[in-house]
Structures are given as structure tokens and as C-alpha cells.
Amino acid sequence: MPPILNAQGVSKRSGATPLFEKISFAVNEGDRIGLIGPNGAGKSTLLAVLADEVEPDSGELVARKFARVAYVKQVSEFDANDTVRSVVEASLQRARVPAEEHEQALRVALGRAGFEEMSAKAVSLSGGWRKRLAIAEAIVTKPDVLLLDEPTNHLDVDGIEWLEGLLKAASFACVVVTHDRYFLENVAKEVVELSRAYAEGILRVRGSYSKFLEGREAYMESQTRMQEGLRNRVRTEVEWLRRGPKARATKAKARIDTAHAMIDKLAEVDARTRTSSAELSFDATDRQTKRLIEMESVSVMLGGRDIVSNLNFGLTNGMRLGLVGPNGSGKTTMLRAMTGELPVSAGTVKRAASLRLVYFSQMREIDEKLTLRRALAPDSDAVVYQDRVVHVASYAAKFLFSGDLLNQPMERLSGGERARVLIARLMLQPADVLILDEPTNDLDIPTLEILEEALLEFSGALVLVTHDRYMLDRVTNTVLGLDGSGTAAVFADYSQWEEWKNRGVGKSKESLQNLAGSVPAVSKKKLSYLEQREFDGIEGRIEAADVRLAKAKTQVESPSVANDAAALTAALSEIESAQDEHDMLMERWVELSEKLA
């Protein structure tokens, strides 16, 4: 059966800049594809090409006859008069679903999305619920392919888990642009990276995100070997050219042409594989005070609703606190109470004298008319970074901004680029406590990884609000969980909070408080989320390796193989490979088991 969608040799430019060139991308029945890539690679543009909403500069999109494609954009916008019900009804009408089927389809789609009130105004919904509505609007049409552009940016953890379950159970194919690594690990059957670092402009690996990382590593190793071999050949040819062959016979001229072709090829490979990364480093004050913020019997109310009740908690130097909870549970409100921006309803919040707080707001307020130069250095062409005067161009380059962007207004920068600007401004401020409210939105995976390293190296205290479960698991050493009804409890890590949350569903507030009280406030981390998934499946992999090893040994003992030199060599090689795999898995099993001990 032909692909549902098949983009063949498509290219697209943004102004004078090529986003991607001669890319081929097919979507088949049952595909669950995670589409990743650095900011500016053209992921959203490629998704729009697949949705037939953007015309490529060259190449073509071929769709299977009568195929139905649903496309959910990054930003979900609705008219002022739209209700939850009317949005989905309009989608059914556009898809020409028979009127007698509307009510059932509507209730199923909205019920699966978690909506209880169908008359609610769409514009009054939170960002996460607007995203759920946009997804319900798409799936009610029973698409053959669902295209999702950064759907997890506005969803809370519950919403992300809901979407994971929806996609894993779906009969339709899907392509999801996302930087959420746990989401990719849990959902994707195939991961595709769009990047100019690859010869074809794209790398496609079957399997989960962890399988993709293995595939990318193998690809990069092969590229390095090819590059080194080409460099050695070029070196030889350059030496030959320098000697200046006296005879300009046909063979000599052909060799000269070949040498120049190889030199050009090496320059192209070097340019393609040359990588640059942002240099992120937060400036701590090296303050020695142990207790920075203490909350004693604190209660916070907002809009007549309890955010927390009778909370006792202390933020100490070196603590990396993750603040978690569903959308609307009051995470940002708690940050404002910690900083003193919002007064508490009861109890006291004590802050160390002359405490230096640096706050990254999820609102990301910035004057869009400012140039990049003035956004980073308002008064001159230099900044003071970690007690050193640095030219603004050099400072911008640390965050992957080229010199020609310095005079561009902020409104022309992408969401990811604006996030980097805001982080760059934060890093100019030494901090005792670094508070980050949803810093990961719009950041690509390489920048997320660098940000995580910077946060791990930051010696002050960190308070982090994010729906990125991977970052929470990697960076934080304490979690403060909010349940949305006024209860808050302290946990060792994200997975421990998730267990508490799942056990607490449908229980009374008092039961939750008792359950939370049974959880130790701080304990040594054992297995991360991905490590636990790996450990859960490693015994099955060991058994499979045992079967492979036994099969290989049986082959060697076969008379037909023993008397065939080539077959015997292949069988012995298979034994060695299977034994290596078995040994590696056993070592990993022991390593993970020791963490659990």
C-alpha cells in the first residue's frame, strides 16, 4: 500500500536562508513519528508542508486518494463566541460527517479529552485545555494522519500523559514535533531528526528516542571515519599537487580534477558536521548561608481557593527544587509567595538578609521593538558577565547568535531564540536563588541538554517549574508537589510524587495529607525515569540474548556449518557478538540493581 503522505525532494527557504533542501519524508499506516531538530531547522515548516498548508519551493507532496489529514498548530486560537461544543461541531461539519452521527462523535471526542462542561467559552480556557480542545477538534474527524506541532508546550503532566495514552491507542498515524524526550521515549515508534548536519538533511531511526540516540551515535561515528579517511586522501593529493607534476598528460589532469573534487567534498563535510553549542553558565554568589527561604505554617489563597494550607518548608543552599502539579494548582502563585511578590494568607515566609533572587517568568515579557543588541546590553556595547567586561557580540555568540542578528528586532526572532535571549539576560545577574518558571518552552533538545548541565553546575539554590519530566528527573533533588486542592507535600524525586499523585486520586484531602506525611522529605535518588524503564525490560533482553547465543552455538555444532569455512566464520562471529551483548546486559543489570539496593 502506498504511503498516506509522501513528500518527495521538498525544499523550503526562509528569505535567503534555506531551511531544508531535497528532503523526502513519508508517512505510512500505523506510523508514530517524533520529529525533532535544532531551532531553525524547519520542523514546523515541514509539518505545514505535510498538511498542504505551505507550498514547498521545489519537490512535491503526494497524498493517498481520499486521505484525511488533521493538523494541530503550535498556538490554538478560537473566536470569542466559540464554545467547547461549537468548536467540535464545526469540525464535524467541515469533515462532512452525517448530522445524525454528530452527537455521539462529539461526546466521545470531548469525553476522551476530559471535558465536562461543553458550553464553556473556548477563549476562557487555560493554554493546556485549549490544546486539548484543538486535539479533540482534530481527532473527531477520524483522520488518517494527525500532525501535532509542539503539543506538550501548554499541557501539564496529566495532559501529556493523556496525550501519550491517546496516541498509543490510536488507529491513525501521527507525526509529532516535540522536544519532550520522555514523550518521545513513550510514544514514538520512529524518530526523525531534521538537521543540516546529515548528508541527506534528515536522519530516520526506527524505535524509541533512546534507540534514536544509539542510531545517531553510530551515524556520527561512521561520518567521523569517512571524514578522517577523506582527510588522509586529501592530504596525499595536496602533497602531490605541491610537487607540481611536470607532465600534464590526461591522467595527470584527471588526477588534478579528482584532487580538487575531494578538497571541495572535505570542505562540504567539514562545514556540515561542524557543530556549535550555546555556552550557558549561571552566576552564583557563593553565599554560605544555609537556610535561604523558610515557610512556616504557610497558607496561600487566591480567588477564594486554597493553593496550599499549613505548609512547612525550607529552601536551603544547594537545593534544586522542582515544583510540580496540574495546571491551575498554583505553581506560579507559590513562586510569587516565595519571592514576596504575593503576601501569604497565613503563616510566615522568612528570607535570608539581602537575598538575591533571579526570576525567569513564563510570561517572557520583552520589548519586541528592541534590537537583540539592546535587549542584551541596554546602555552600551558591552556587558559585565561574571565580573568581566564582554563585548555584546561576543556575549551573543555564546548563545549562538551571529553578529548580523544584533540589529534585528526581537519580534523577528523565533520563540526558541527569544527564550535564549531571556536566559542570557538572567545570566548577567548573580543569584543566591534561581527561580525558573517554564524555561523549556521553545528550546530545542541540544539547548535543553546544555541548560540542564548549567543548572547542575549552579552552586546556589534552584526552584524549577517545568512540565519537562526528563529535566525534572535529571536536575532536581527535591520535589514539592501540589494537588490543586490545597495539599502540598515534599518528595525525593518526580517519580515518587507521581506515585503519590496516582495513589491519591479520589481520596480525601486528609487522606492525601496522611499519605504525603508517610513520604520522606529527602532521600537518595535511585533510578531515574528512563533507568527504571530500562530495568523493567532488561530481563527480557537478557533472555533474548541467551536465546541468540544458544542458537549461534547450535549452528557451530552443525556438520554442514563445520565443514564450510565461510559459514563457520560467520557462526563464530555471531557467537562472539551474542556473548558481548549478553555480557553488556548483565553488567548493566548489576549496575542498576546496585542502585536499587
Domain boundaries defined on the chain: 5-213, 214-273, 291-517, 529-596
**pLDDT of 509:** 44
- Of 265 and 478, the one with more pLDDT: 478
CA dihedral (262, 267, 271, 275) positive or negative: positive
What are the tens digits of pLDDT across the range 372-431?
Answer: 999 999 988 999 888 889 999 998 888 878 888 899 898 888 777 888 888 888 888 888
Strands in 239-361 per DSSP E: 291-302, 305-316, 320-324, 346-351, 357-360
Residues paired with residue 175 on neighbouring β-strands, in sequence order: 33, 147
Q: Where are the alpha helices (DSSP H) in 98-208?
A: 102-113, 127-139, 157-169, 181-187
Burial class (CB in 10 A: 0-12, 13-18, 19+), 194: buried
DSSP assignment of 367-417: -TTSBHHHHH-SSSSEEEETTEEEEHHHHHHHTT--GGGTTSBGGGS-HHH
Query: Is pLDDT at 529 greater than 80 in this prediction?
Result: no
- Of 522 and 91, the one with more pLDDT: 91
- The one-letter amino acid code at 317 reads N
Instruction: Assign domain 5-213 to its CATH superfamily.
Output: P-loop containing nucleotide triphosphate hydrolases (3.40.50.300)
**If pLDDT is split at 50, 70 and 90, which confidence band does 519 have?**
very low
**If pLDDT is split at 50, 70 and 90, which confidence band does 71 have?**
very high
**If pLDDT is split at 50, 70 and 90, which confidence band does 32 have?**
very high
pLDDT winner (highest mean) among 91-105, 115-129, 134-148, 280-294: 134-148
Query: Is pLDDT at 524 greater than 50 in this prediction?
Result: no
Average pLDDT of the segment spanning 266-274: 64
Distance, in Å, from the CA atom of 74 to the CA atom of 39, rounded to the nearest integer, reads: 14
Residue 450, all three cell numbers: 546544555
Query: Is pLDDT at 594 greater than 90 in this prediction?
Result: no
Contacts for 252 with CB less than 8 Å, ≥ 6 apart:
245
Q: How many residues does the chain have?
A: 597
Query: Is pLDDT at 15 greater than 90 in this prediction?
Result: no
**If pLDDT is split at 50, 70 and 90, which confidence band does 523 have?**
very low
Average pLDDT of the segment spanning 52-68: 93
Query: Is pLDDT at 285 greater than 50 in this prediction?
Result: yes
Distance, in Å, from the CA atom of 465 to the CA atom of 252, rounded to the nearest integer, reads: 66
Cα distances from 324 to residues 340, 342, 359, 416, 495, in angstroms, run 20, 19, 17, 23, 11
**pLDDT of 518:** 39
CATH architecture of 291-517: 3-Layer(aba) Sandwich (3.40)
pLDDT winner (highest mean) among 72-81, 182-191, 222-231: 182-191
Average pLDDT of the segment spanning 40-60: 93
| Domains 5-213 and 529-596 alike in fold | no
Distance, in Å, from the CA atom of 419 to the CA atom of 400, rounded to the nearest integer, reads: 12
Q: What is the DSSP letter of 486?
A: B
Percentage of residues in the chain having pLDDT higher than 90: 33
Cβ atoms of 457 and 280 closer than 8 Å? no
Look-up of cell digits 510540580: 324
The chain-wide mean pLDDT, for the chain, equals: 83
**pLDDT of 525:** 46
Helix (H) or strand (E) holding 12: strand 5-14
Average pLDDT of the segment spanning 517-535: 55
Q: Lowest mean pLDDT: which of 25-34, 299-308, 487-496, 556-565?
A: 556-565
Cα distances from 161 to residues 113, 468, 488, in angstroms, run 11, 12, 21
Cβ atoms of 385 and 430 closer than 8 Å? no
Query: Is pLDDT at 511 greater than 50 in this prediction?
Result: no
Q: What is the DSSP letter of 99?
A: G
**pLDDT of 270:** 63
Average pLDDT of the segment spanning 319-343: 88
529-596: CATH topology is Helix Hairpins (1.10.287)
